[in-house]
Amino acid sequence: MTHLLASADRLLLAAEEAGHGAEEFADGGILASGAWLIPVVPMVVAFLIVFFGKRSPYKGWAMATGTMAFVALYGVVLFISNLNQGITYEGAVHLADIGTQSLGEHVGDIFAIEWGWMVDGLSIMMYFVVGVVGLLVFIYAKGYMEGDVRHTWFFASFTLFAGGMLVLVSAPNLIQLIVGWELVGVASYLLIGHYWEEHENSSAAIKAFLVNKVADTGLFIGAIIVGTSVGSFRFTDIMEAIAAGGGDTPLARFAFWAGLAIFIGAMGKSAQFPLHVWLPDAMAGPTPVSALMHAATMVTAGVYLIGRMFPFYMVEGFADEVRGIIIVIGALTLFLTGLLALVQDDIKRVLAYSTLSQLGYMVTAMGAGAYTAGLFHLFTHAFFKALLFLGAGAVIHAVHSNNMSDMGGLRKYMPYTFWTFVIGSWALAGIPVLAGFWSKDEILAGVQFAGSSESGFSIAQGGAGLANLVLVVAIAGAFVTAFYMTRAVWLTFFGTYKGHGTPHEAPRVMTYPLVGLAAGSALAGFLNVPGVTEFFTEGVGARFFEGFGGLEHHVTSIDWALAGLGSAAAIAGVAVGYTIWGPDRETQQARDTFSIPVLYPLLRHKYYIDDFYMDGVVRPVRGPLARAVNWFNDHVIDLVVNGAGWLAAVVARAVYFFDQRGIDGAIHASASVTGGGGGLLRLLQTGKVQQYAILLFAGTVILVAGFVSFAIF
């Protein structure tokens, strides 16, 4: 086992030489050195559930939940320790080397293949989120998945899902990150298509898998460019190369394309416009899957990747020009996908488009240089988005329908679900002083700073005007968020019940996690009140690239005017939504008649993007292109294969003839001669000594006669 603290020290030293300061952090002791257990335990247990889950207590649920309890406990202890004193630690196990070396003389790059674990502010935050939120979702899943036909398989895949995300966030190098990236993708395919008997569900799983594979190509290309340019795939070595400066280095020459390619990979996982189309369809999976996917795994991976590579996008001379693209894509996502939530009847799809919008906020923050703000919103969003999905699952569990047109009046039947769902909705909308208010306000402040003359956000990166436009879009997005969540709350919980049967509150195993997540949705924001309690800022500030002082803008006080503007937009969204959907009607359809000409038909067709992909990509591939490939297969490949087969048959017959008539004939003739000779010799072997003596005497006479004759002549 090799501990790579030295590489972090070299990074900080290089940053100091470049004129930046560096802070001292703790190495975390045995707590950090043993953190390899965080990703390993879930991966091992996932396979144990496959083989032994059906014979274990609760058919695999206990094993899975116990694993998440371990991760949650470890994550909480690390989180608290990091808040007290920042931790930076990196450990690795060397597996192999790839490259060429000859007689000690360097011929080519030697790339170390390592499995390792990184413990710093960013990874610790993700350990905490995946562990704590994941534990509550796993507990909830016991009630939701009760009686499921593939109960054990679900918890095996669910544990693999969480484990893959932990492999990803613990990765100290791009190769291991890609391994975790793909594990998450495979597990999501299994979970989205859990009810694969219905074609719609299996199609949704395939769609999610394929869209992500297209985007993953960008990540692979970007990782190869960065790794080969630096001579290493380790993040610490990459940061060290950035700290050393740009100039005419290989990394600087290809930085723009590498940064763009990596961002495309992030766009796929974090479902950024226009690669967002897979996420709403992913609601086909069980609701606990939706909760964990949207809150703590999968979709947060892209934001995490940008955060891990943050200096690459911020330091001038590298991929800083990609920032303009990042902030534009984030802004488009936060606003356009938020509007799509307005026309959804499926309550889970409302929340899915909400997730897309909030991911847009996070990506926008990263593009604006607001590292802490983007990650803080990821942190708070995990609580209220998991809460909302689990609340939606409790409603679906009670009324046996996903559609809000079959709901209404549920606050009377489901008080725990109602109040926790309202808290989650308000937190999502950014209502003061819930968690979403603090994190979204920091994003607005970060975007506002990017539009100022002090930010250094150059014209090549998008310019200050772009940042100011994005700020307006982000504030408008706050109004839209509050507007569609008010619609969801009123159509689901107010008025009279429009469904069938009698709804009921969810069992305690499902409501207790709701209460826990509601507490997080209400209180998590107080970890990072600018200028007052900046625990989160200090925690995520413990990172290996701390030496790059001044890369990000961190607000140190509350901008009351901006906070008031954002809050006013959210409150206005609630007020307008209440005005429209507050009155009850005989049917839900009569309540939900609000529509804006031109816009709403466009939203119902999802901007025709799905149609474009289907008509412009899928059908051409399945139609003319598929027919062309089939013709080529039948008339070219098959011709070659069949010709090769015919030639092989001719050669085989010739070889067989030569074998039978040539080789076998020679062998048989040799055997016949040997057998005949042996038969003749057998006549001489009578066993009578007298005959042997006569023959010996005769032979001697013949030999003597021969010698005499030879001498005479």
Domain ranges of the chain: 2-591, 624-712
**β-pairing verdict for 89-102 and 2-3:** antiparallel
Using CA of residue 137, residue 143, residue 144, residue 145, what is the dihedral sign? positive
How confident is the chain (713 residues) per 10-residue block, as mean pLDDT? 41 43 73 95 96 90 96 96 90 81 50 89 96 97 92 96 96 95 95 91 93 95 94 92 84 94 96 95 94 93 95 91 94 96 96 97 94 95 97 95 94 96 96 95 92 65 77 96 97 92 92 97 94 88 70 82 94 96 92 94 94 85 76 84 88 84 80 76 69 78 81 65
Q: What is the DSSP letter of 234?
A: B
Determine the straight-line distance between the first and last CA of the chain, rounded to whole angstroms: 93
**pTM value surpassing 0.95:** no
One-letter amino acid of 457: F
Q: Which residues fall within 8 angstroms of residue 663, CB to CB, at 6 or more apart?
A: none
Residue type, 425: S
Give the distance, in angstroms, between the CA of residue 709 and the centroid of all CA atoms in the same chain: 103
In the block, tokens 């819930």 appear at 434
Name every residue whose Cβ is closer than 8 Å to that of residue 8 and which is 6 or more positions away in sequence. 88, 90, 236, 544
Place of tokens 């930085």: 255
State residue 679's pLDDT score.
72
How many residues make up the chain in this entry? 713
pLDDT reported for residue 3: 39
Return the pLDDT at 19: 41
**Tokens representing residue 331 in the block:** 């802004």
Between the CA of residue 240 and those of 69, 364, 547, 638, 687, what are the distances in Å?
36, 26, 10, 54, 96
In whole angstroms, give the CA distance from residue 591 to residue 498: 11
Secondary structure letter of residue 431 according to DSSP: -
pLDDT for 458 equals 59
70 close to 166: Cβ distance less than 8 angstroms:
no
Instruction: Quote the CA–CA distance of 302 and 521 in Å, as a whole number.
Output: 23
> What does the longest C-alpha to C-alpha distance in the chain come to?
145
How far apart are alpha carbons 245 and 66 in whole angstroms? 47
- Token pair 């796993």 is found at 138
Distance CA 511, CA 670 (A): 91
At which residue do the structure tokens 């190495």 appear?
27
What's the confidence (pLDDT) of residue 550?
66
pLDDT computed for residue 143 by the predictor: 94
**Nearest CA among 390, 43, 45 for reference residue 184:** 43
**What is the reported pLDDT for 457?**
65
Separation between Cα atoms, residue 504 and residue 502, nearest integer Å: 7
Question: Which phi and psi angles does 101 have, rounded to 5°?
Answer: -150, 145
Residue 648: Cβ within 10 Å count: 10
Nearest to 282 by CA among 356, 357, 189, 347: 189
